Amino acid sequence: MQFDDLGLDRRLLSLIAHRGFEQPTDIQRQAIPVVMAGKDLLASSKTGSGKTLAFLLPAMQRVLRSKPLSRRDPRVLILAPTRELAKQVYGQLRMLTSGTNHKPALVLGGENFNEQAKVFRQSPTFVVATPGRLADHLEQRHLSLSGLEMLILDEADRMLDLGFKAQLDTVNQHADHRLRQTLMFSATLDHQQVTDIAAGMLKSPKRVAVGEIE
């Protein structure tokens, strides 16, 4: 299967070609059709296997192809465990959104809280955040997740190892389950806390484990 066979928007295919990516990686081949079918996903594959585009491409596809539920609220929220990882995701997202009117916002711990609150007033389509800081903004009502269409947890195992369970619960409570599609990525699915949180946040997820015996 090639990128052309995944049913992606022409803009996205041309960006991929421009980056010089010739073929989807295994996780991209398996995850993208599941996400494009609107299903929840619990996925694992090793570091460096291309997980970021496995979720960003179908998230961008959804944004390009469907009408928003809300004009004000973010449509896609991506949580990552550390500032560095969030910045990397944001970098790839900037590449996919450049030249469109879909703004991405980056919301990190350690930055000035009140300054940061202003980014939500620009109605970003995408928010990439570390969990503690995002939960703080939710509690201060700086943003609403009522219109959220996709919640993506990148490196869920690491977020839990870093003690972010309560913050993930906060996010889960703010985003409407009936409307939202949830994707969870983890280095391993053999992690009790990941299984537990997946049970609370995902609806009948499709499990995809690349290079791992379940």
Q: Can you tell me whether residue 202 is helix, strand or coil?
A: coil
**Closest approach of ligand ADP to the CB of residue 28, in Å:** 6
Which helix (H) or strand (E) segment is 88 a member of? helix 83-97
114 binds, among ligand ADP, Mg ion, none (CB under 5 to 8 A by kind): none
How far, in Å, CA of 25 to CA of 29, rounded? 6
Helix, strand, coil: what percent of the chain each, to 5? 45, 15, 40
Please report how many Cα atoms fall inside a 13 Å half-sphere around the Cα of residue 211, on the Cβ side.
11
139-158 footprint of ligand ADP as x/- string (CB under 6 A): --------------------
Query: How many residues form the binding site for Mg ion (CB under 5 A)?
Result: 1
Smaller CB separation from ligand ADP, 80 or 197? 80
For the sheet with 76-79, list strands across it. 104-107, 126-129, 76-79, 150-153, 181-186, 41-44, 206-209
Residue 47 binds ligand ADP, judged by CB under 6 A: yes
Smaller CB separation from Mg ion, 76 or 143? 76
Residue 51 binds Mg ion, judged by CB under 5 A: yes
Smaller CB separation from ligand ADP, 7 or 121? 7
Residue 53 binds ligand ADP, judged by CB under 6 A: yes
Which helix (H) or strand (E) segment is 170 a member of? helix 165-174
Reference 164, options 47, 41, 74, 82; nearest CA is 82
6-45 footprint of ligand ADP as x/- string (CB under 6 A): ---------------x-xxx--x-----------------
106 binds, among ligand ADP, Mg ion, none (CB under 5 to 8 A by kind): none
How far, in Å, CA of 179 to CA of 101, rounded? 23
**Closest approach of ligand ADP to the CB of residue 131, in Å:** 17
Residue 68 binds ligand ADP, judged by CB under 6 A: no
Residues that bind ligand ADP (CB under 6 A): 21, 23-25, 28, 47-53
